[in-house]
Amino acid sequence: MTLPRSLKWIAGVLLAPVVLAALLIAIFGWNWLRGPIERMTTEQTGRVLAINGDLTVKFGWPLPRIRADAVSFANPVWAMEKQMVVADAVEVSIHLPQLLLRNIVLPEVRLERPIVFLEQAGDGRRNWLLDLNQQDEGARIRIDRLTLDRGRLGYDDTGQKTRIRAELSTSGAPPAAAGVSFTAQGQYKGMPLKAHGNGGPVLGLRDEATPYPLQTEFTVGHTAVKADGTITSLLKFSAVDMRVAVRGDSLAKLFPLLGIAFPETRAYATEGHLLHQAYTWRYEKFSGRIGGSDIAGTLQVDTGGKRPAMKGDLASKVLDIADLGPLIGARPGSVEAAKQAAPAATPTAAPTPVLARVLPDMPFKTDRWDSVDAEVTLKAKTFRHAKELPLEDLVAHLSLRDSVLTLDPLDFGVAGGQLNAVISLDGRSDPIQAHAKVKARKILLSRLFPTSELGKTSIGQVNGNFDLTGKGNSVRQMLARSSGKVELVVAGGMISKLMMEKAGLHLWEILELKMAGDKLVKLRCAVAGFDVKQGNMQANALIFDTEVTTIIGTGSIDLGDEKLDLTLNQKTKYTSPLALRSPIYVRGSFARPVVEVDKGRVAARALGALALGLVNPLLTLIPLIDAGPGQDSDCGQLVRDARALPRSEAKATSP
């Protein structure tokens, strides 16, 4: 049977290209395709593709393989480097069904001795996007697995102040099992970067099925990381299972790396297990140190919401009290430095500004508070270096929601009692709106001041309430603008008689006790009440009442300037044959308070005694006798009397 002439003609037209392609391949190999491929690439991308070596094709469905030698692909004109890719050879497999859908998918790519530069411009253009303007996210080549046989990689992002250069080498035998070793250095977000490590022979860029083994150590700025484990899909980080150790100067410096706000801390080092699936990152069963404190627990971050949501459960066996300073904005060693720098005031010297400060003054970085929502609990059993303020059994829960930070509860065991606080900082406003409510219950006076004479010779319990509201971006600013109330009460107990005789300036009794030994006398009550307005604490009740002496105080404390201005007047309860009877003034700064008597009154009493002594030696003691009221006073009435004390009387007792 013979075919009609028309069918023969159609068959000839269809088979001619195939026959022609077969002849070209037979005569020239696949190199005849180099020209069409180069021209088509230039038309589509505006950039030159050059294939200066042989081109070979190995058919297969659905993944034919193409190999080209001596290949280069140009960068767009705005890039700093002339070529994006230069390689001795490029071998790729092409997913034909995706190509028919106009998607370029390369399941496997192998580059021999490549030099690759990736760059992102400040306006968002990226040289790996293949549209003419390098801005279409769909115009990219998808590479699932990448094999690099030695080479150099570079990445630049001027907007992020990032410039990285890496070198890769292949090692191992047989070649199929060879791994990749790398070193990198440069700058990441303005911070110096150094890295080295090794991984598997095939980089699973988008491979969702095969975890990629990786060991690496790198430093960014002052943060160092060591990691060992696997990552599934290096570009997407679909899953992570690694042992990770991190150390650095402060947790706050992790913000440029993670985009999550951590508090300011002292130097830290931790090691734990890092896991990632879907939207959840989990750093579990980690342990380490922050400053002088041990720390352990688990942190989890969920990235699937409006902002990352962090949950944490942390514990410390021994917490160094110095490590709490940076959390509230205290500079390391600020109190000690203030005490050394602040000169002691003298009555004869002209007042000079007190520059040394004690209250924490480092501002909170509220601009980072909206980077994360957090619910973190910290528990600590004991404290190190807590001689001046004996703390224990810390339980704190930090909540950060929509830039509002709340500590509820913030509980300490203090000197055998409890300190319970609720603190709120609203970072949505500038300055921060702050509110603090603190309750002190059953704090033992003897343990509250263990290093002072008061602590060694006192028995009693301290109770109190603090309720302050203020504005400011640091603790110092908040207190300097705070308003509210401060109340402290010591109910009952015993106290050193020698100490109270010293407070009453009873010289005869001091001499007696020095010779015979100190005794304890009954502490009837002690009350300290302050009204706080715009950082000025005005005493409305300042009383210390014992069997031998009652001390009533007046004055104020300036939280803004950190200055003390208190006057203590003694009222002895029995006749003292030798007493100076002078107000005691508490002046100076928080860093270096000055306690002194009214030297004018003391001198006048001494001169009076001397003058009478010239008339009759027995009369010398008359100005020095303190007759005293002779009876106890009601503590409640003392508080009412102190609050009713006219301001004019308080001023009359000033030096």
The pLDDT tens digits for 172-185 are 544 445 588 999 99
The pLDDT tens digits for 610-645 are 454 454 444 343 343 344 443 444 566 555 554 554
Give the amino acid at 393. D
Poorest-confidence range of 48-57, 321-330, 608-617? 608-617
Give me the mean pLDDT over the 425-447 stretch.
Answer: 87
Cα 637 to Cα 277, 633, 640, distances in angstroms: 68, 7, 5
**What pLDDT is attached to residue 405?**
92
**What pLDDT is attached to residue 640?**
57
**What pLDDT is attached to residue 201?**
86
Respond yes or no on whether the N-terminal peptide bond of residue 409 is cis (omega within 30° of 0).
yes
The pLDDT tens digits for 224-258 are 999 999 999 888 888 999 999 999 999 989 988 88
pLDDT bracket for residue 162 (50, 70, 90):
very high
Give me the mean pLDDT over the 373-381 stretch.
Answer: 92
Using CA atoms, how far apart are residues 235 and 157, in angstroms rounded to an integer?
Answer: 17
**What pLDDT is attached to residue 343?**
46
Q: CA nearest 115: which of 79, 155, 77?
A: 155
pLDDT bracket for residue 582 (50, 70, 90):
low
Cβ atoms 286, 271 nearer than 8 A: yes
The pLDDT tens digits for 463-508 are 888 999 999 999 889 999 999 999 888 766 766 656 656 665 555 5
The answer to whether residue 52 scores a pLDDT higher than 80 is yes
pLDDT bracket for residue 647 (50, 70, 90):
very low
The listed range with the strongest mean pLDDT (41-45, 267-271, 544-548, 606-610) is: 267-271
Degrees (nearest 5) of the Cα angle 537, 538, 541?
Answer: 120
**What pLDDT is attached to residue 506?**
56
Phi, psi of 105 (to 5 degrees): -120, 125
Report H helices in 572-634: 599-615
**What pLDDT is attached to residue 352?**
43
**What pLDDT is attached to residue 172?**
54
- What is the Rg, in whole angstroms, of the alpha carbon atoms belonging to the chain? 39
Cβ atoms 238, 208 nearer than 8 A: yes
Q: For residues 343 and 136, which has the higher predicted lDDT (pLDDT)?
A: 136
Poorest-confidence range of 64-78, 313-327, 351-365? 351-365
Using CA atoms, how far apart are residues 182 and 556, in angstroms rounded to an integer?
Answer: 66
Poorest-confidence range of 92-96, 284-288, 618-622, 636-640? 618-622
- Using the Cα atoms of residue 547, residue 549, residue 552 and residue 557 in order, give the sign of their dihedral: negative
Domain layout of the chain by residue ranges:
26-159
